Structure 1
Amino acid sequence: MSTADAHLRRAVALRDSQDLAGALDAIREAASAAPGDANVALGVAQVTFEAGLDAADLYGRAAELAPDRLDLQRSRASALAAEGRQPEAEELLEALLARHPAWIDGHRCLCGMRATAGEVDFARSFRSAVAREPENFGLRMAWFHVLATARLWDEARAVVDEAEALLGERQASLLGKLFIASESGEEAANPSLFDRVEHVQDLGLDIARVRHFLRGGQIERARDLCVRHMGQPTMRAFWPYASLAWRLLDDPRAQWLDAGMRHVRAFDLDFRAEELAALAETLRRLHTMRQPWHEQSVRGGTQTERPLLLRIDPVIASARARIEAAVRRYIDELPDHDPAHPLLAAPRKGLLFSGSWSVRLRPGGFHSVHTHPMGWLSSALYVTVPEREQRGAAPAGHLRFGTPPPELALPLEAYGEVVPVPGRLALFPSTMWHGTVPFADGERMTIAFDIVPNLKA
């Protein structure tokens, strides 16, 4: 094994264990040993980016060594935007899309940049690409999905209609039309809306069908569809909906799964006031976007990009140490192992962050009701909260659990709430429905993250 390969393997192992400082040292050693290796150059850029440092020019160096790799160029554009160089990022993506109009990941990246900058016509790159490749059905459906995620129903419907007028109805366009009909509310009460695709096996379709069945009062059908995924990895997307169906049917499995607020814990961490102030100032510098991504739960605020708790920053590292200690305590105090339960079945020896970010809400801001299907444990660490006279009467600003998504119009009450206090960390199962109540004035800033078991521990 060459010296470069040895350093590269060590860098990968350290990155996998989420030691970004060690990984960065190792990958730089690999680059010194193999300065012309494109994969090593990409590794330097990637680890630098994940560590919260400027990486756009490093991606540029890697791109010189591997000029045909579009995925690398997409990462370079994301790094440029993260460094406040969004005009350069957009120019790069526009030039690449001019040469590769069917590059869907490039379109999505560009759309995300423009949407978070507050642009109304954020998806315009698709329009020009479809004009160049009018028979590219997949490109048209990617355009549809970007618009549907933003809940721009009329625009999304127009894209599907044009695709079918030119190329005929296909399964993807049919599913798109059914999704709009249900989620927009136009045919939410139609019990047979999804019957013609009963035979289609598709994860996204099954989620759409479950939501439609719940919304339309077909609770048994929703339950049966959820249960069909039990024992499979896909079930993590259906546990929250199974909970709703079981609660509506008075099935004891709802109590087994959620246990009310039993698995929701609040820890008041030992931050001094000046430490929270320093943490708040650090986080504010990272909130550079004007609007959240459309697929996020944030309403009236912004969310940071990049893995927040992996950043090489002493203020964030101090917060991470406190967080990890509280998470370890939460895990150690869980009830006995249950091999069928999504929270209690997981191994408990080691843990990893599967995502971490900060959310800064403006007056009137809130989180829509949602879950975290990619996590095991989820969280909210309050860094700043509005003063009592600012936020309004309780429960303004509270973190609420168990309330269904309001668009499903289900007669279920919340299990309970966590009151926001600076330095308080709420931990809860990722399968639990949760959202926040809007507040009147002030700033509400949190650190949030998902935890997954470290299967290598």
Structure 2
Amino acid sequence: MSDPQDLFRRAIAAREVQDLGGALNAILMAAKAAPNDPNVALGLAQISFEAGLDAADLYGRAAQLQPQRIDLQRSRATALAAEGRQSEGEALLEDGLFKNPGWIDGHRCLSGMRATGGDTNFARSFSAAVARDPENFSLRMAWFHVLAMAKLWDEARAVIADAEQCLGERQASLLGKLFIASESGEAAHDPALFDAVEHVSDVGLDIARVRHFLRGGQIERARDVCLRHLGKPAMRAFWSYLSLAWRLLGDRQVEWLNAGMRDVRSFDLDFTPSELRELATTLRRLHTMQQPWHEQSVRGGTQTERPLLLRIDPVIAGARQRIENAVQHYIAGLPQNDPAHPLLAAPRGRFLFAGSWSVRLRPGGFHAMHTHPMGWISSALYVTVPEGADLGPEPAGHLQFGSPPPELNLQLNPYGAIEPKPGRLALFPSTMWHGTVPFADGERMTIAFDVIPTAPQFS
């Protein structure tokens, strides 16, 4: 029998190149050879989870071997929810939070689990924890962020007001108040709203500044905030906003950046109708949530968790192979390398999935305008699409590109759109604004993913 540490290293190497079948084979042999090795036990749980297998009990075993690692209880709770045992997952997190009220990641996980389960009082664990640990300012601000992501502005204001009454104003609470004032509409057009924190350097604050300046017509200020991140990894979060500023200013550099629909392509993959029906059946079983996460673009539907395209399910694997072939064709057809461009600077070799998921939209559902700043190339593969009157008049259900988020109130038209059809894969730059038009009735289900180049120069 091979050395368990060698098997463990083989498993990790296979996982890093997203060969989950090879990783699973190696880690299973390692676990058989070294059943009490904590790293092997954790590796078995993580690889099993990512491969789409039941992993809650495996995380439980890993937690037994490393009782000091509270994060393993969060992983176990997530796995329990994914296996349809959400009440057990919530109970596990509640127990951990009772013992550790300042465990912020546990609160976030529990809040997300409750929100996607349809619980409107999803953030209540924070209230109990703050009552027990009232001087924990970080805990209070985490509570604020969870509420703000859900756009529960009154509740978020109340959390900050109470924090400042008890502990005084701090930079984080001040920035929180500015964020609410801008995003809620309370002071959306106050040109001086952010002037008092001009000296504060923070990427998240700069995103808030840019959105505020665009919304209020201070386009040059928005552009200048974006440009100060050029050459830095954080710039990927600003390219999409810079494109809006350039368009509004009539700057021709936007043609270099976006080139209209030049880098948006569609591929009609060779699925048979029966293969698409089988894929749809497989995906429906994975849509166990009732509501989307608050921070997502999904409106009127659900999104799966776990990395979808890493599952070892043969139906998913067959779709992945077709997807990979199309991505390779897309990359091969890109314009020549441009070291300053967020899409064209990346190396053209192998790629990895940075994330993959399925979205199932209900009647009237859509995606809000958004981007994927952590990706390089993004996507939508249509598995089911309403037909005829169920879809509605054109452009119902279409995937549109280039329009700004409506809450910014910018009068810019989309560059174009892709019509949804079963088996059609849309590929486009991750930094490009995209969203969908609501449809009338039926089901619209997709597979979506981001890819990144394997070379470390990606930024």
Shift of 1:251: 0.7
Deviations 1:85-112 (A, max 9, x none): 0110011000110000000000000000
Partner in structure 2 of residue 201 of structure 1:
201
**TM alignment of 1:40-189, pairs within 5 A:** 40-189=40-189
Map 1:421-440 onto structure 2 (within 5 A).
Answer: 421-440=421-440
- Residue 33 of structure 1 deviates from its aligned partner by 2.2
**How far apart in 2 are the matches of 1:456 and 1:54?**
32
Describe how 1:34-433 pairs up with structure 2 within 5 A.
Answer: 34-433=34-433
Once the 2 structures are TM-superposed, how far is the Cα of residue 135 of structure 1 from its aligned partner? 0.6
Q: Deviations over 1:291-313 (max 9, x none)?
A: 00000000000000000000011
Cα distance per residue 1:132-161 (max 9 Å; x no partner):
000110000000000000000000000000
Residues 259-297 of structure 1, C-alpha deviation per residue, up to 9 Å, x if partnerless? 000000000000000000000000000000000000000
**Paired residues of 2:403 and 2:434 also in contact (CA < 8 A):** yes
- AA at the equivalent of 1:150: A
Q: In 2, distance between residues paired with 1:456 and 1:15? A: 17
CA distance in 2, matches of 1:87, 1:408: 39
Whole-angstrom distance in 1 between the partners of 2:92 and 2:117: 17
1:318 and 1:393 map into 2 onto residues whose CA distance is: 33
Between the two proteins, the alignment pairs up a number of residues equal to 456
In structure 2, distance between residues paired with 1:12 and 1:186: 50
Structure 1 residue 39, shift from structure 2 partner: 1.1
What is the root-mean-square deviation of aligned Cα atoms in Å? 0.9
Amino acid at match of 2:248: L
* Cα distance in structure 2, aligned partners of 1:308 and 1:427: 17
How far residue 252 of structure 1 moved from its aligned partner, in angstroms, is 1.1
User: Amino acid of the residue matched to residue 140 of structure 2?
Assistant: R
Is the partner of 2:359 in helix, strand or coil? strand
1:157 counterpart letter in structure 2: R
Distance 2:411 2:63 in 1: 54
Give the CA deviation at 1:456.
7.3
Query: Which segment is superposed worse, 32-41 or 318-327?
Result: 32-41
The CA distance in 1 between the partners of 2:325 and 2:112, in whole Å, is: 35
Q: How big is the shift at 1:257?
A: 0.4
Q: d(CA) in 1 for partners of 2:300 and 2:411?
A: 26
Cα distance in 2 between the residues matched to 1:176 and 1:376 = 30
Contact map agreement 2:389 2:440 (CA 8 A) in 1: no
- Output the amino acid matched with 1:98: F
**Percent identity, aligned pairs only?**
74
User: In the alignment, residue 219 of structure 2 is paired with which amino acid?
Assistant: I
Residue 379 of structure 1 aligns with an amino acid whose one-letter code is S
Name the residue aligned to 1:455: 455
Give the distance between the partners of 2:273 and 2:433, measured in 1 at CA.
Answer: 31
Mapped contact 2:365–2:439 kept (Cα < 8 A): yes
| Alpha-carbon distance between aligned partners in 2 of 1:393 and 1:356, rounded to the nearest angstrom | 30
Q: Match of 1:29?
A: 29
Give TM-score, length-normalised by structure 2: 0.99
- TM-score, normalising length from structure 1? 0.99
Deviations 1:349-404 (A, max 9, x none): 10100000000000000000000010000000000000121111101100000000
Q: Distance in 1 between matches of 2:411 and 2:98?
A: 51
Q: Which amino acid aligns with 2:283?
A: L
**Separation in 2, partners of 1:95, 1:325:** 46
**Cα offset for 1:27?**
1.0
Give 3-state SS (helix, strand or coil) of 1:220's partner.
helix
User: Aligned partners of 1:275, 1:389: CA distance in 2, in Å?
Assistant: 25
- Partner Cα distance (1:252, 1:276) in 2: 43
Name the counterpart of 1:10.
10
Q: Distance in 2 between matches of 1:170 and 1:423?
A: 52
